[in-house]
Amino acid sequence: MTVVRDAPERRSIQEVLEALHESRVGLEERIRLAQTRARFEESEAARAEAEREEAKALMELDAVMTRIRATEARLVVVEQGRQPRFK
């Protein structure tokens, strides 16, 4: 049985989680576009730039995914009625 004691905090966490997922979707699109450019650009310089953009987006995606996992864990803690260790 799930106990939700702090509904406002739960809603706040869910809003953060939704925003993070929106960021994830945008980053995934940037990665796809960069991969397409790297594959089909005629210029070596343009391909190299696309590869740099992909690498940058991948690093950003890694950070966002880490935040998503932490936020999901925090949501579980709140839903169980426990106090999160970190805010």
Convert the pLDDT of each residue in 33-66 to its tens digit. Answer: 999 999 999 999 999 999 999 999 999 999 999 9
- The reply to whether 20 falls in a domain is yes
- The reply to whether 12 falls in a domain is yes
Question: Which residues are within 8 A (CB) of 36 and not within 5 positions of it... i.e. 6 or more apart?
Answer: none
- The reply to whether 85 falls in a domain is no
> Hey, which bits of 1-87 come out as E strands?
none
Domain that holds residue 30: 7-76
Residue 70 pLDDT > 80: yes
- The reply to whether 57 falls in a domain is yes
Question: What one-character DSSP code corresponds to residue 80?
Answer: T
Between CA 33 and CA 53 the distance in angstroms is: 9
Give the sign of the dihedral formed by CA 83, CA 16, CA 66, CA 63. negative
pTM of the model: 0.84
- The reply to whether 1 falls in a domain is no
Mean pLDDT of 2-30: 88
- The reply to whether 84 falls in a domain is no
Number of domains observed in the structure of the chain = 1
Q: What token pair was written down for 40?
A: 């089909």
Give the sign of the dihedral formed by CA 60, CA 65, CA 67, CA 68. positive
Residue 1 pLDDT > 70: no
Length of the chain: 87
- The reply to whether 81 falls in a domain is no
Residue 6 pLDDT > 80: no
